Amino acid sequence: MSDEKRVVDSNSDDFERTQELALRPKTLKEFVGQKRVANQLDLLLSAARNRNSPADHVLLSGPPGLGKTTLAMIIASEMNAPIRITSGPAIQHAGDLASILSSLVEGEILFLDEIHRMSRPAEELLYLAMEDFRVDVIVGKGAGATAIPLELPHFTLVGATTRSGLLPSPLRDRFGFTAQLDFYEDNELSVIVKRSAALMGIEISEEAITELGSRSRGTPRVANRLLRRVRDYAQVHANGKVGIKEAMAALEMYEVDAIGLDRLDLEVLETLVKRFNGGPVGISTLAMAIGEEVETIESLAEPFLVRMGFISRTPRGRIATPSGYEHLGLKAPIGSTGQLDFFDTPASDA
């Protein structure tokens, strides 16, 4: 199940993507939350502008929906530079990357989403491009093959990843600045909801704004998506005005509980508790029992469940914590601690 469908399936995906793009802040001053990262980026970009040179390469790491793409666009805006957007899965051959790099202009921003999913040959080509701003083009085959160096304009690579641990060290080391994005506080999400509602022309009460902020899983993308669903409900049932009553009714309809857990989150937690007696259970076994991909659970459900203290990741597998049992209205077995072990083996069934 893709991130686009976690709250609701819609026939207006293209319209919503366009609308979501319009809600993105254009400058660091407009950007809400991530104060530490925003201040660090502001210093980096200001120094680059003062030197009249491209900014250093930037790696943005964190769970989906926290603003990595938005920050890449802000970097381009702050540097008054064009931006080229692509993704790791789209670059399966070194030639694909060489073609993109050779067409860049001086100072351009290359945003590479899901950089951890790029092929190994392309990664190795990127090392040289990031450090020396050149690539070696191989001409011919076999013993007669010749490497011709191709000089590149100075560009800024902005990489985004939800799995920074999968990046090889030589690639991570070539980034001049690495930003780890954190989940947002409820009050920050309320500010985002209020701003988005104003841009979308939605009449919404302060109580409804606060409720949406508290159920947005610490994620701006979720906050904006919930706002659109609440807007839809209000347009049909309340003349377009969103009060706390309309917000609560819409959130209940879309199966978003009081702290923001949705159907997938609850299914993961309930399966772990009820079918596997709280664990430990391997992530692939858990995914198979739910009928989802391992990556879907690891990237969409698990970060928030771990953050809320409902499950723990251990070398033996995933374990439900007493807090997880309590959230489901159940009593944890005697002796259950769900203690977090940092020596994690993410995809193991051990």
Is 113 labeled as catalytic in the residue annotation?
yes
- The catalytically annotated residue of 6, 69, 117, 210 is 69
Query: What SS3 state is found at 191?
Result: helix
Under a CB-based contact definition with an 8 Å cutoff, are residues 68 and 160 in contact? yes
- Compute the distance between CA of residue 157 and CA of residue 280 in angstroms, rounded to an integer: 40
- Compute the distance between CA of residue 161 and CA of residue 102 in angstroms, rounded to an integer: 24
Per-state percent for the chain, helix, strand, coil, to nearest 5: 50, 15, 35
Is 285 labeled as catalytic in the residue annotation?
no
- Compute the distance between CA of residue 309 and CA of residue 327 in angstroms, rounded to an integer: 10
Sign of the CA dihedral 76, 21, 88, 185?
positive
- The catalytically annotated residue of 70, 161, 162, 219 is 162
- The catalytically annotated residue of 117, 194, 215, 221 is 221
C-beta neighbour count of 311 within 10 angstroms:
27
- Compute the distance between CA of residue 7 and CA of residue 214 in angstroms, rounded to an integer: 16
Is 9 labeled as catalytic in the residue annotation?
no
- The catalytically annotated residue of 68, 174, 217, 225 is 68
Is 210 labeled as catalytic in the residue annotation?
no
CA separation, residue 251 to residues 173, 180, 229, 254 (Å): 43, 30, 8, 5
Is 321 labeled as catalytic in the residue annotation?
no
Under a CB-based contact definition with an 8 Å cutoff, are residues 235 and 201 in contact? no
HEC string for 248-317: HHHHHHCCCCCCCCCHHHHHHHHHHHHHCCCCCECHHHHHHHHCCCHHHHHHHHHHHHHHCCCEEEECCE
- Amino acid letter at 196? S
Under a CB-based contact definition with an 8 Å cutoff, are residues 179 and 61 in contact? yes
Catalytic residues: 68-69, 113, 162, 221
